[in-house]
């Protein structure tokens, strides 16, 4: 295995300033729609980077569940490591790695809790097993064996089999409100197209081309 010989030639598309939407959420919607139409594996998967008070960055993949002009929403256990770090430092980053399309989107912003009503509206749409899993898993905490997780899942399944599964008090969502959003399109000779949207005070956006 020679990693230094691995190369992909980026020649699928180009990104021009005149083709960009003036609003980054509109541009994101265009790219997300194209990603979904391209049969990518989980096009709504995004890497979430957080850092607590110790400054040590942590990354993991989460799923984007909605977005609009307010920001990008994901859901999680509110006692997880990511949630604890967000409570210490709300500055986060998102990365959408649409590698098959030679595209990336990078979001820098602040994470804030979504209202409980919004989290509940999503929770009730989750499959039964996922709802039970939210009760069963003490996310990010040390467990001695998988069998303990499976036992807790079975216990929760028996407990709630008679009716609707309530949303745990320790489960909810975050909205990443962006300060900046970068759209990256791979190009030949590593001369990639990069455009950065930066939020201005009057809720408008400045668009700049970045060198690759």
Size (the chain), residues: 212
pLDDT(24) > 90: yes
From 18-27, 65-74, 113-122, 144-153, the region with the lowest mean pLDDT:
144-153
Known catalytic residues are: 190
| Residue 188 within a domain | yes
- pLDDT, residue 121, reads 97
pLDDT(42) > 80: yes
* Separation between Cα atoms, residue 159 and residue 148, nearest integer Å: 16
| Residue 149 within a domain | yes
155 and 202 within one domain: no
Predicted confidence band of residue 202 (pLDDT cuts 50, 70, 90) = confident
| Residue 94 within a domain | yes
Q: What does the block give as tokens for 169?
A: 């008090």
183 and 99 within one domain: yes
Q: What is the DSSP string of 6-33?
A: ------S----GGGS-SSHHHHHHHHHH
142 and 115 within one domain: no
From 18-22, 71-75, 77-81, 138-142, the region with the lowest mean pLDDT:
138-142
Tell me what the mean pLDDT of segment 111-137 comes to: 94
Q: If we measure between CA atoms, which residue out of 114, 123, 119 comes closest to residue 166?
A: 123
CATH number at residue 111: 2.30.110.10
| Residue 159 within a domain | yes
- pLDDT, residue 153, reads 84
| Residue 1 within a domain | no
Q: What does the block give as tokens for 146?
A: 């998988």
Number of separate domains in the chain: 2
pLDDT(186) > 90: yes
């Amino acid at each position: 295995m020679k990693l230094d010989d691995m190369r992909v030639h980026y020649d699928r598309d180009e990104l021009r300033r005149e083709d960009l939407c003036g609003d980054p959420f509109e541009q994101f919607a265009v790219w997300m729609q194209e990603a979904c139409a391209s049969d990518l594996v989980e096009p709504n998967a995004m890497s979430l980077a957080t850092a607590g008070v110790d400054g040590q960055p942590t990354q993991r993949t989460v799923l984007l569940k909605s977005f609009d002009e307010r920001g990008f929403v994901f859901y999680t256990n509110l006692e997880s490591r990511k949630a604890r770090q967000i409570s210490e430092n709300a500055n986060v980053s998102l990365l959408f790695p649409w590698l098959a399309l030679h595209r990336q989107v990078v979001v820098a912003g602040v994470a804030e809790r979504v209202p409980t009503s919004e989290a509940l509206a999503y929770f009730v749409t989750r499959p039964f097993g996922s709802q039970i899993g939210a009760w069963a898993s003490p996310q990010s905490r040390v467990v001695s064996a998988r069998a303990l997780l499976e036992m807790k899942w079975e216990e929760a399944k028996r407990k709630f089999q008679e009716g609707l599964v309530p949303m745990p008090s320790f489960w909810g969502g975050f909205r990443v409100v962006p300060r900046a959003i970068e759209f990256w399109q791979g190009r030949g000779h590593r001369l990639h197209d990069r455009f950065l949207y930066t939020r201005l005070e009057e809720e408008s956006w400045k668009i700049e081309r970045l060198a690759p």
